[in-house]
Structure 1
């Protein structure tokens, strides 16, 4: 993206405003536009960077980055991953995904959780723009990688505590 046309337009606007002030104002505006060129470019870059940040917040987990190459800004867009319903998945996701196990196999489990926790999980997934399944896979992967596993309470030695299912 070339900022030259935008900087030139700012110069023209400054010159137009100086016309109203007479010859002294025109001369002052002419002397100020050259040193202000870099300030104009920096202000435009700041605005583009802020816009990229705002778009990234709305696009999460995708992102938009502003990068400078040879002094010219450019955008790099990383779209969010696409989610498919479970019945439409023909093969497991690509191996480079952080959400898949090392061997590429995919398993299905069912578990019960309190309604209040389910609601909080759905809200957290929605904030991140993920399905509940994708959010749970990420959370479980992070917990396993960091060793942050849930703590189980144990019965005191000699205590009579039983857990499980019975028929």
Structure 2
């Protein structure tokens, strides 16, 4: 999606408004145009991201992600898995899964961005798990984090306690 026409419209509107103020206002508008172009692009990207978050909530388990390609956003649509009434049932038992939806009262409409660095093999496993459930990796990670938070992290604690009894020391020794 090319944001240039929208930014150019803002620039022209600023120039028209400055015309009414005389020569000083016109010169000021010309000096403000470059910094305002960056601010306008950033604002448009924020609005598009917020809009796609709302669309994703409505499409769940499908999703729409906004990605930057140079200076322009691109949309990546992950449709929900196709479920037909006439599909042959899978003879294998479905693995147990708790989707753990985000509680409605916890969603205040805001999102936060986090950079997560995963080892390459773990990233691949996360992508495979998300694909099996027909979700984007982001949506799958949100559900996984929510499930861990809702369960109180008991799985991580019990695994740690069985490994070393919970007695762990770190630091330097002389």
Instruction: Give the alignment's TM-score, normalised by structure 2.
Output: 0.51
What does residue range 20-59 of structure 1 map to in structure 2 within 5 Å? Answer: 20-59=20-59
Structure 2 gap segments, 5+ residues each: 95-100, 105-132, 134-146, 148-152, 156-174
Q: Could you report, residue by residue, the CA deviation over 1:93-148 in whole angstroms, capped at 9, with x for unpaired residues?
A: xxxxxxxxxxx5359xxxxxxxxxxxxxxxx8xx9xxxxxx9xxxxxxx9xxx999
Structure 1 residue 90, shift from structure 2 partner:
3.0
1:60 aligned onto 2:47: no
Q: Note the aligned Cα RMSD (angstroms).
A: 2.8
Distance in 2 separating the partners of 1:72 and 1:46? 12
What does residue range 110-129 of structure 1 map to in structure 2 within 5 Å? Answer: none
Q: Could you report, residue by residue, the CA deviation over 1:5-60 in whole angstroms, capped at 9, with x for unpaired residues?
A: 11111100111111122221111111100121111110111111111111111111
Distance 1:59 1:7, change over 3 A: same
Distance in 2 separating the partners of 1:61 and 1:90? 22
Distance in 2 separating the partners of 1:4 and 1:147? 50
What does residue range 58-97 of structure 1 map to in structure 2 within 5 Å? Answer: 58-85=58-85, 88-90=86-88, 92=90
- Work out which of the two has the higher radius of gyration on C-alpha atoms and give 1 or 2: 1
User: How many corresponding residue pairs?
Assistant: 101
Distance 1:28 1:147, change over 3 A: closer
Question: What residue in structure 2 maps to residue 105 of structure 1?
Answer: 92
Structure 1 gap segments, 5+ residues each: 93-103, 108-123, 128-133, 135-141, 149-167
Structure 1 residue 75, shift from structure 2 partner:
0.3
Structure 1 residue 89, shift from structure 2 partner:
1.7
Secondary structure, in 3 states, of the residue corresponding to 1:84? coil
